[in-house]
């Protein structure tokens, strides 16, 4: 069993390690998938996926259920809301993403500036009073559960934060990589170590994830910029594998989890790109609809879709979801309605994607399934 030790990333004086043989199959699957996918390897691809969809995913991970079209409206100032913190969460991420697109090196000063952007207007008085030049100067606790019987984790002793952050930055900037997937794995190991350090009182998760994206942009590993979307669909498992790394120092399962998640999202992008080429440009809401459809399991019905949508967004009535999300894709010939369900009291139907709109290479699509049965 070949084991790779991350010699600069220590948890309580024990280094994090990865079992290379156990991550190799997924690394090869990702590299094989990306072969010939030149459009995914462009900066334009990452730009199109960051705004607003990665903003939505980044926030959903922390329980903020803002619809992609609502985020788009906030960014372009076409809607007004009275909830100042909700607006700040969205605009701060938008401005943070614009900042990491500038190509600056990741160091203590630029990271501190990113944190200032992401946290602006969101910190309480205690946090502001106990922040040093770069990092917190008091203890912080990390809550993974609302169950008061489960003790929270504690971020590292604040006297050690700068030393550990310098190790993290060195790991992020100096680790050699042989392929795009290796670059992705470095970004994720750095992200999880950032979680462990917890250098701030709040906004640690968003800063860690955005820093990982920043590294991917700097190294031109553009396809992997969508990793947050895979997390948002399996949040409980995500937090579990994070805690397991801290407990066992073994990051193998965590990296496999992240690779599977991002591979699923890349497969969806591959299918949506083919649909776009045959049907024309999609609106933000149409794109989001296809993302959700391709994330659903089993047979697809209008009600199933509405339930899936409402699980991840502020709730809407079924008729509104069907009218605003399903029907526009029916009009474009992308969705084909099937028969009504047996217990239909409203307009519930099965549906499928129009297979004439895409042609799948089975060597590319291995992690998601499509409903092709004629209903």
Section 314-335 average pLDDT: 95
Domain borders along the chain are 3-269, 280-357
pTM score, two decimals? 0.94
Tokens read off for 192: 């999880």
Number of C-beta neighbours around residue 285 at 10 A: 17
Distance CA 11, CA 199 (A): 14
Q: Which of 72-76, 105-109, 231-235, 256-260 has the lowest mean pLDDT?
A: 231-235
Distance CA 2, CA 41 (A): 30
Distance CA 118, CA 90 (A): 9
Identify the pLDDT of residue 144.
66
Distance CA 269, CA 256 (A): 20
The pair phi, psi for residue 257, each rounded to 5°, is -55, -45
Residues in a beta bridge with 337: 351
Contact 208, 96 (CB under 8 A): no
Tokens read off for 171: 């790991």
Express each pLDDT in 185-200 by its tens digit: 999 999 999 999 999 9
pLDDT, the chain, mean: 92
- The architecture of the domain spanning 280-357 is Orthogonal Bundle (1.10)
Express each pLDDT in 285-314 by its tens digit: 999 999 999 999 878 999 999 999 998 888
Which CATH class name applies to 3-269?
Answer: mainly alpha
* H/E element, 275: helix 252-279
């Amino acid at each position: 069993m070949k084991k790779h030790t991350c010699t600069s990333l220590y948890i309580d004086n024990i280094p994090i390690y990865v079992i290379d043989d156990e991550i190799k199959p997924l690394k090869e699957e990702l590299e094989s998938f990306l072969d010939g996918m030149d459009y995914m390897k462009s900066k334009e691809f990452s730009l199109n996926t960051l705004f607003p969809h990665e903003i939505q995913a980044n926030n959903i991970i922390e329980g903020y259920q803002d619809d992609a079209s609502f985020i788009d409206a906030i960014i372009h100032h076409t809607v007004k809301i009275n909830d100042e913190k909700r607006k700040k969460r969205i605009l701060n991420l938008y401005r943070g993403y614009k900042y990491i697109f500038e190509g600056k090196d990741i160091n203590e000063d630029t990271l501190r500036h990113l944190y200032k952007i992401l946290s602006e207007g969101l910190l309480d008085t205690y946090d502001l009073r106990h922040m040093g030049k770069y990092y917190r100067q008091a203890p912080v606790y990390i809550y993974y559960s609302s169950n008061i019987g489960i003790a929270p984790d504690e971020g590292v002793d604040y006297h050690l934060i700068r030393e550990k952050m310098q190790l993290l930055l060195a790991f992020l900037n100096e680790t050699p990589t042989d392929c795009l997937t290796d670059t992705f794995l470095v970004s994720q190991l750095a992200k999880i170590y950032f979680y462990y350090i917890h250098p701030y009182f709040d906004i640690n998760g968003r800063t860690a994830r955005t820093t990982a994206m920043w590294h991917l942009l700097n190294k031109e590993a553009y396809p992997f910029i969508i990793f947050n979307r895979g997390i948002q669909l399996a949040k409980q498992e995500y937090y579990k594998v994070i805690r397991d790394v801290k407990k066992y120092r073994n990051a193998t399962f965590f990296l496999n989890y992240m690779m599977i998640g991002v591979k699923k999202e890349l497969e969806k992008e591959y299918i949506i790109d083919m649909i776009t080429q045959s049907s024309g440009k999609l609106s933000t809401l149409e794109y989001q609809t296809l993302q959700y459809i391709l994330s659903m399991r089993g047979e697809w019905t209008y009600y199933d879709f509405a339930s899936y949508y409402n699980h991840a967004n502020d709730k809407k009535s079924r008729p509104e979801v069907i009218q605003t999300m399903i029907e526009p894709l029916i009009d474009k010939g992308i969705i084909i309605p099937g028969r009504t369900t047996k217990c239909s009291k409203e307009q519930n139907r099965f549906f499928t994607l129009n297979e004439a709109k895409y042609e799948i290479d089975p060597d590319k699509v291995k992690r998601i399934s499509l409903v092709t049965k004629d209903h």
